Amino acid sequence: MTVNNLITKNEFELFYLIELTKQKVKPLSRWEKPISEQTREYIRKQGLYLDVISRKTFLRYTIYETIFSTSSHYLDFYRHKFNHSLLRKDNPTKRLEGFLFGYPSCCVNQFIKRPYISNELSKEDQSILFHWTCQNCQITPELIPYYKSIYNRVIEWYRNETLENKQQKEIYISNYRRKLQTTIAALLVSTGLLSAQTSVDTIHFIPLPNDTNNNGLSYAEEIYLGTYEYGLLDDCQYYAKFLKSVVDTLPTSIQTNRTYKLEQIFRGVVQCPKCGANIPMGYVTIINPLRNLQIDIPFIGLHFMENGYFSYGNDEDYQRVDIDTLKKILYPFDPEHMLTVNEDSDGDGLTDAEEDSLWLDYTINNKDYDNDGVPDGAQIAEEIVRLFPKLKENVSNIHSYIEFKPVWGSENCQICGSNHNMGYIEITNPENKRSYQMPYISLHALAHGSFAFDGTVHQNQRLNAVELYRAMKTHMLFITEDSDNDGLKDNEEKYFGFNPNNTDSNDDGVCDGMELALSFVESIKSLPTEPSMSEPYIEYLDMDGIQLCSVCGYEIPMGIMKIYNPLINTTTPLEITYYAFHFLEKGSFAYEGAEEGRINPIELSNYLNIALVDIRPELTNNTHFILEQNYPNPFNPVTEINFWIKKDCDVTIDIYNLQGQFIKNLIHKYYIPGHYKIKWDGKNESGTEVPSGSYFYRMKTSYGSLVKRMSLIK
């Protein structure tokens, strides 16, 4: 099909509009004249979504509009707003159309107040635009190169459609396409602009704490949305309006296989504290039945989203839409960013080898193993993306940590045109010593559900899902209600005598959660297997089969251990699977993968008859003595304990295990002021070596006592 056969010279503007839309200079375009089915088919072959809607004039005549875009969401939004509606040109409609068609907001506002006022553009430049630019416009000059390049190329291509030699024509068209894409990519890199598709409204802006680039999004939200690194103000504007437009198109009746909304409207209105608009009281519940997720957003929240922001209220007292949950419900992945992957039999974004290495019920012939509407690859990408905000930029010996290494220069996503630094991100796993590097643009692709990415610099590349996952994950999983990320909930830390705001309460180099977990492991391993009425015991139930650890890939035999404690007046054992125990051996009470859950450390301590509270230090503010942390710690086979005496007193230093049982007395004598030290060789009172594990040493004086922990590792 040739351009000459497709359109006449008078319809050149349509072809120009198609190219502007295809290159994402315009997010949405509208053609108000009749076009043939042949032309519609051509538009579709350009990779554009297309729809035809009807409108009514004031004289009740029906007219038809053809709309097309690279994104079906824009068509859905436009159809929802205008299909079968009265053709009107009021100010709100003009502003909305300006946003959809990619016109600068300043030009739209100026045109509403004073249309066709003289501007600084030449007639030639103004003639290739689809909006009238305002005086001293700061945005349009940045757009002119986009329009001019496409306009000139289209003119050149159109003219060469008259070439008689078919082979020569095909070569020319092929070269044109390549030149056009290269030109647009270069312009995007040089300007850093996608288009003028977002109108920046600062009236409804509410400052966020820790929003370093002041763009209305937190660091975590920029990661979730795939906008981290360029972080422009219109990122928030775009996604707030985009997600609001998706909400507008949702059905209002209960659905079983697609997302829907239910509106709860109350009597009365609430006034927007920013613009004074009257907003209905009530809220909308948005439900994704396939993912079993839902969110409530008040109408005032939707009003702020419509104006480009996720916070609503006033600067001092505001609430915020949960972007993470809303994205999981409405837009968990973007099909356009999910590029084709080699050796991916079911087209879910994971290679067959990766599916075989992962722990869930993934198969190479099932694109969506849990039938939640999200391909398996996109679901794994979604999980990994949500780990990034949790990683610290400082070196850690507990969780994986991250380093951002930007360089001079930027590149653009070939799918959506977004701009990214050309540098890379390095993730280091302290547990398995893995290190993984990935370019900035790949983080953008992950946020859209894809391990594959295509940039103007990093072209047609892909992250290895398994290697990245195992670099990101340690067995010490993140849990809720854990202020210091040490694997224990705050209430559990208080129960066991730890500081909820200090990862390593006793400064012994081992985080509190890991220290407690490892001590429980030793206690469990030492339990007798013979039933008893006077002490805890354990029963092992082996099963056929193995399970792969989601973090390290280790093969774990299937089975259950049952811990009985006749002293707590119950015949019900505490059951721990071998899989969960594998994570406990790595220092984590939480586990995930083929099984997911968490061992309750308080419940486990009761079953093991461990009473840490029995040897908690007496609370004293005295300054008569100092007990230092042993060194080295962990140790094998000998460690040294230093202490200071500032006033004459009797001193006793004893060793206990985690059950509070006495192990050995190191000192029991009278001391005068001074600095002293004592060594422990890991043996009990009878000279027998004690097993690996955690132990307490308590210094007791006339003025009080202090307790610290230490770990023996053989």
What is the DSSP secondary-structure string of 112-159? HHSTT---SS-HHHHHT-SSPPPTT-SSHHHHHHHHHHHHHHHHHHHH
Same domain as 419, residue 294: no
Whole-number Å distance between alpha carbons of 146 and 187: 7
Give the model confidence (pLDDT) of 388-442 as tens digits: 998 888 888 888 999 988 888 788 888 887 888 888 999 999 888 889 999 999 9
Count of domains in the chain?
A: 5
Whole-number Å distance between alpha carbons of 310 and 298: 12
**Residue after which a domain boundary falls, among 583, 609, 635:** 609
pLDDT at 622: 55
pLDDT at 259: 92
Query: For residue 453, which amino acid is it?
Result: F
Token reading at 570: 């119950």
For the segment 352-366, the average pLDDT, to the nearest whole number, is 70
In a domain, 230, yes or no: yes
In a domain, 186, yes or no: yes
In a domain, 644, yes or no: yes
In a domain, 343, yes or no: no
Give the position of tokens 């009021």: 90
Same domain as 619, residue 605: no
Best CA proximity match to 550, nearest among 307, 384, 321, 414: 384
**Residue after which a domain boundary falls, among 547, 578, 609:** 609
Same domain as 678, residue 553: no
Q: Evaluate if residue 182 carries a pLDDT over 80.
A: no
In a domain, 338, yes or no: no
**Residue after which a domain boundary falls, among 544, 576, 609:** 609
Same domain as 243, residue 160: no
Give the model confidence (pLDDT) of 234-284 as tens digits: 678 888 888 888 898 889 999 998 899 999 988 888 899 988 889 989 999
Give the model confidence (pLDDT) of 636-665 as tens digits: 889 999 998 888 888 999 998 876 778 999
Same domain as 368, residue 312: no
Whole-number Å distance between alpha carbons of 713 and 587: 14
Give the model confidence (pLDDT) of 610-622 as tens digits: 644 344 444 444 5
Same domain as 147, residue 127: yes
In a domain, 130, yes or no: yes
Same domain as 590, residue 502: yes
Whole-number Å distance between alpha carbons of 244 and 306: 6
Same domain as 625, residue 605: no
Same domain as 184, residue 51: yes
In a domain, 337, yes or no: no
Q: Evaluate if residue 699 carries a pLDDT over 60.
A: yes
Same domain as 504, residue 465: no
Residue 313 belongs to what domain range? 219-330
Q: Evaluate if residue 527 carries a pLDDT over 50.
A: yes
Residues paired with 590 in a beta bridge: 598
Mean pLDDT of the chain: 82
The answer to whether 226 and 388 have CB atoms below 8 angstroms apart is no
Same domain as 152, residue 28: yes
Q: Evaluate if residue 163 carries a pLDDT over 80.
A: no
For the segment 617-633, the average pLDDT, to the nearest whole number, is 70
pLDDT at 419: 80
The residue with greater pLDDT, 526 or 574, is: 574
Whole-number Å distance between alpha carbons of 650 and 669: 6
In a domain, 32, yes or no: yes
Same domain as 501, residue 448: no
pTM for the predicted model, two decimal places: 0.58
For the segment 511-540, the average pLDDT, to the nearest whole number, is 87
The residue with greater pLDDT, 89 or 384, is: 384
